[in-house]
Amino acid sequence: MRSNLLRDSVDDILRECLSAAGDDIVVVNPSPASIRSLVTVGGELSDPTPVRLFAARDPLKDLMEDFLVASAIADLVEEGLLRVRTLQEVPNSALVLSEESVVSLVESSDQAAGLVTTDDSFVEATYADYDGRWADAPEFSLRTPPRSRVMETLEAELGATTAADFAAVLDSLESARGGGDGLDEVTISLLVAAKNGELLYDISKWGEDVGVASKATFSRTKTRLEDSGLLDTEKVPIDVGRPRLRLLLGSQRLEDADADDLAGIAQEMLA
């Protein structure tokens, strides 16, 4: 990187930075939107440079509540394309560091700029500073499984149709987080399972085994969705033990919806 960049989005800036970098790049204190951009760009490039993401703990923790972002980051980590550590002292701006340049990211409502510095002494000192901080910084603990693993295991356990519906619902969303901000991964799993008439036992066992959530969380969420009219259940006798519950959608609107419309209707009903 030798000259300043002015582009339509942070995605474009990061794409150029990652394409131009050598063997190592450190992204320091990016905004949550820039982390999303980093994940998007990292998943698109055919030969991406491994990235060290160095960010403050609280913004990272909040961002990881979004299953779409967290599972994509987990994929990049598993592929060796991303490492994440927590930054203790936060600089005034977001930086993209390599051994050749320091780029300061500046965002506005409709454009993004990358202010490039290539002065050898400044670049060397800045890179060495953050490289040293990185060595002493704790790893950020990812509790969300990679999306690729989620999809592979869901298809293996509950079939290709259920997995395809799950993917379609995720693709229809800009974020997947609960707490009043939309649908989280457990809610989505239960709705998709109900659309395909799966058993609560099967979807919750899968979710616990893959690391999506515990069986208890699936059960509590199922009850909440029943109370809201989104889900219904019917008992299915088994040879030994208590009957299991088959999940059903609780309204005709949901039953008639395609998978990519399911989330929107569910959000309306929960509002």
Residue 266, pLDDT above cutoff 90: yes
Residue 91, pLDDT above cutoff 70: yes
Question: Tell me, what's the pLDDT at 1?
Answer: 62
Instruction: Quickly state the pLDDT bin for 92 (edges 50, 70, 90).
Output: confident
Mean pLDDT confidence for 206-217 = 96
The DSSP element (H or E) to which 234 belongs, if any, is: strand 231-236
What would the pLDDT profile of 58-74 be if each residue is shown by its tens digit? 989 999 999 999 999 99
Question: Tell me, what's the pLDDT at 180?
Answer: 55
Mean pLDDT confidence for 201-225 = 96
d(CA 74, CA 76): 5
What would the pLDDT profile of 219-252 be if each residue is shown by its tens digit? 999 999 999 999 999 999 887 767 899 999 999 9
d(CA 179, CA 194): 22
> Torsion angle of alpha carbons 139, 144, 145, 151, nearest 10°?
-150
d(CA 233, CA 158): 18
Question: Tell me, what's the pLDDT at 68?
Answer: 95
Question: Tell me, what's the pLDDT at 179?
Answer: 62
Q: Whole-number mean pLDDT of the chain? A: 92
Give a three-class secondary structure readout of 71-92. HHHHHHHHCCCEEEEECCCCCC
Cβ atoms of 157 and 196 closer than 8 Å: no
Question: Tell me, what's the pLDDT at 84?
Answer: 96
- The share of the chain scoring above pLDDT 90, in percent, equals 77
Q: Which residue has the tokens 């008992």?
A: 235
Mean pLDDT confidence for 143-158 = 97
Question: Which one-letter amino acid corresponds to residue 223?
Answer: T
For residues 18 and 215, which has the higher predicted lDDT (pLDDT)? 215
What would the pLDDT profile of 110-136 be if each residue is shown by its tens digit? 899 999 999 999 999 999 999 999 999
